[in-house]
Amino acid sequence: MQSKKTEGIIFNIQRYSLHDGPGLRTVIFFKGCQLRCKWCSNPESHEFKRELYVSTLQCIGCGQCIKVCPQKALSKVDGCIVIDRALCKSCDLCTELCPSGAIQFYGKAQTAYEVFKTVLRDATFYRNSNGGVTLSGGEPTLQPDFAYEILSMCKEEGINTAIETCGFTRWENLEKLLPLLDYVYYDVKHVISAKHVAGTGSDCSIILANLKKLISVKHDVVIRIPVIPSFNDDKHSIDAIIDWIDTNLSGISVEIMAYHRYGEGKYELLGREYQMKNVNNLSTEVMENIVSTFKSKSIDCRLLSEN
C-alpha cells in the first residue's frame, strides 16, 4: 500500500451515476488524454493542467478580472471576456474576484485520500445497489500511481471498482491497475488505422494490442463502441470492427453508444472549435440495426442508453 498522498488532477466527481458500471456509482473524471477525438464530449479532459474558462451567460461585464490579472491574459472583445491562454499562469486571482462565478477553472489537484473521502460519502448507496466507483476521464491510466491509490482504498473498504479507458496508454500502466479492478470498460473506436487517425489524431495499433493482452489476463471486460456519423457508422467500418473482434477475441460483450452533442457548449467555454457542429445524431433504428449486425455474428451486443 502506498502513502495515500499521491496527488493527481481531476476535473469532476459525479455522484449517483447509472451508466458507468453496475448499480449506483461515483465517477471520478481524470484530466489528461492523448487522443483528440473530434466528437469528444469532455474537451476539458484533454490537457493535464488546469484550464480557465468563461461563461458568457454568467458574465456581467464588470471587467474586474481584466484589472486584476497580473499577466494581462484577459481582455474584452465585442463585450466578451477573451483569454490569452499562452499568458495565463493559473494564479486564481480572476476566479476569486469574479462576482458572478463566470470565470472558473476546469481541473483541480487533489490527493488520492481527498478523492477517496468524497467516494466514501456514498458507501451505503454502493452496497444497497451493488454499485461502486468508476475511474473515467480523460484517460485514468495516464495517472497510474494516483489511480492505484484510489482503487486500493476502495478495495480496502470493499467497494466495487471499474475503469473506463480508451486503451491509448502504456500496457504497464493498465496492467498495474488490473488486480484492483472488478470491471474494465474499453473503448474501440475503429480498427482501421487511417480512419482512427482521421477521427482521433492517433493510430489504433497500441489500443488493439493492449486489448488483446487485457483479454488474455482478465475476463470482466466490456468493449464500448461509440458510433460516430461519417467515422465508423458505415457498413465497411462496422464489418471491420466485427471481423477484428471475431478474429482476435472470444466471449466478449459489446456495448454500442450513439453519438451525441452534449459537450458542444464546453468547446466555446474553452475557446475551441467544435468540429462536429454540423453532424446530426443517429436514429434509434440505425443503432438497433448495428446491434443486430453484431448479434448476427454471434457477438453479445446491446445498445447503451444514456437516458
Q: Tens digit of pLDDT for each residue in 185-237?
A: 999 999 999 999 999 999 999 999 999 999 999 989 999 999 999 999 999 99
- pLDDT exceeds cutoff 60 at 132: yes
- C-alpha of 87 from chain center: 27
What is the rounded CA–CA span in Å between residue 54 and residue 100?
11
Scanning 16-63, the segments in alpha helix (DSSP H) are: none
The residues, ordered by sequence, that sit 6+ positions from 194 with a Cβ below 8 Å of its Cβ are none
Is the bond preceding residue 138 a cis peptide, omega within 30 degrees? yes
The residues, ordered by sequence, that sit 6+ positions from 61 with a Cβ below 8 Å of its Cβ are 76, 79
pLDDT bin (cut points 50, 70, 90) of residue 1 is very low
SS3 at position 34: coil
pLDDT score recorded for residue 306:
60
The residues, ordered by sequence, that sit 6+ positions from 153 with a Cβ below 8 Å of its Cβ are 4, 112, 113, 116, 119
What are the φ/ψ torsions at residue 221 (nearest 5 degrees)?
-120, 135
Q: What is the pLDDT of residues 15-37, one digit of tens each?
A: 999 989 999 999 999 999 999 99
Using alpha carbons, select from 123, 159, 165, 160 the residue that is nearest to residue 144. Answer: 165
Q: What is the pLDDT of residues 150-174, one digit of tens each?
A: 999 999 999 999 999 999 999 999 9
Q: Which of 2-11, 28-37, 103-112, 259-268 has the lowest mean pLDDT?
A: 2-11
% the chain with pLDDT above 70: 98
What is the rounded CA–CA span in Å between residue 236 and residue 41?
25
Other CB atoms closer than 10 Å to residue 21's CB: what's the count?
25
The residues, ordered by sequence, that sit 6+ positions from 175 with a Cβ below 8 Å of its Cβ are 213, 217
E strands along the chain, which residues? 7-17, 25-30, 51-54, 74-77, 80-83, 103-106, 108-111, 132-136, 160-165, 183-187, 221-227, 253-258, 300-303
